[in-house]
Amino acid sequence: MRATRFYNATLVTGTGVFRNAAFVVANGRFTEITGAAGAIGADDIDRDDRANKDSLAYCDLGGQIVVPGFIDTHIHGVKGCDFEDPDCDFAAGARLLRMTGTTSFFATISPFTPFGARKPPYRTLTCEGLEGFHLEGPYLNPAKQGGFYKGQIRPYDEAEADDIIRSFRGAIRIVTAAPECVDLPSLAALSHKHGFALSVGHTDADYDTALEAFGAGFSRATHLFNAMRTFDHREPGVLDAALLDDRVHCELIADLRHLSPQALKLALRLKPIGTLTAITDSVCPDAPGITVRGSVAYKGDTVYGSQSTMYELFRHLTGPLLAVPLADAVRLTSVNAGKALDLDVGDIVPGMRANFIVMDSDYRIETVYTASDFGTN
């Protein structure tokens, strides 16, 4: 397949917004990026056509906005596809996500019992867009169980944890655990052994325990504010520690329902922009026991997850209530997640996989591209 040069773009990357920019995609990857000073024009196209008519195609974007494809690091499912069920059609779920700009995702698996009955089908599961799995539990604090029932939460067992992680053959990329409920050196050793990130979540940890966890190797906080000890001006806890420690990368359910605009603004003001990632925490609305009211999913009377898309979060971030600058909204919805998890996707730079979205000036999605559209993934 011929390489394609996209030109006359308003390009948004991890380093800013570039107007009249151009970029080349070859073999599914970005190979060349030029800003305004070096952007290609009509005269250049005529010259290049004569020299490269058989090897290079051109696409005039007419000034439209180009952003990296969204990355959702915390999603339990979409309509018709419950990621808790290894027999669901993950590829169909990925296609639905792509329609709203999410080109990469981490299927989030909640604690399940028995583990052994459900491990094998996940071992070889692959589809475009699935970057890995996020294991949320089972070593959580029952006091902060959220939508989980107590039978899903188990005491920490190193041998069991090692068996679970090994069964996924490297596909587990994030594990959420309550630091006060695990043996920190043991779980940190498993993280180093198997190469996954540790995230504090569903936790009632106090401030000192949270700092101990961050020092031991926990680098993330799962859905900040939600399912964790709340702020107390006399008894600081894990929330305070995550907000004040710049080493910690924090997830934010930016749907304006799980978190108020004020809570989001607080995190955006306190944390460096590169340490925050927007997530949906979306669940399959067809999953057993789930009811949907508005954009929120409930299990009984308990908030269980969202029904938002990453695109909707992007619109919330750039909308009037939050007024996040465009470049920062792109960092929150793609760039930061890719960097934090060492992915070869999430930004528009040479060498990265070519997952990107073309939008009009009102941020309406026009086209979503992935690396496979250009011959390879």
Residues in binding site for Zn(2+): 136, 202, 223
Distance of CA 154 to the CA centre of its chain: 26
In 10 A of CB 188, how many CB atoms?
Answer: 17
Whether 347 and 26 have beta carbons less than 8 Å apart is answered as no
- Rounded Cα distance between 339 and 104, Å, is 13
Buried b (16+ CB within 10 A) or exposed e, 99-111: ebbbbbbbbbbbb
What tokens does 348 get?
A: 């528009």
Question: Residues 206, 281, 328, 347: which is the catalytic one?
Answer: 281
Per residue, what are the HEC states of the chain? CCEEEEEEEEEEECCEEEEEEEEEEECCEEEEEECHHHCCCHHHHHHHHHHHCCCEEEEECCCCEEEECEEEEEECEECCEECCCCCCCHHHHHHHHHHCCEEEEEEEECCCCCCCCCCHHHHCCCCCCEEEEEEECCCCCHHHCCCCCHHHCCCCCHHHHHHHHHHCCCCEEEEEECHHHCCHHHHHHHHHHHCCEEEECCECCEHHHHHHHHHHCEEEECCCCCCECCCCCCCCEHHHHHHHCCCCEEEEECCCCCCCHHHHHHHHHHCCHHHEEEECCECCCCCCCEEEECCEEEECCEEEEECCCHHHHHHHHHCCCCCCCHHHHHHHHHHHHHHHCCCCCCCCCCCCECCEEEECCCCCEEEEECHHHHCCC
Can you state the angle between helices 184-194 and 207-216, rounded to 10 degrees?
30
Establish whether 281 is a catalytic residue.
Answer: yes
Annotated active-site positions, please? 281
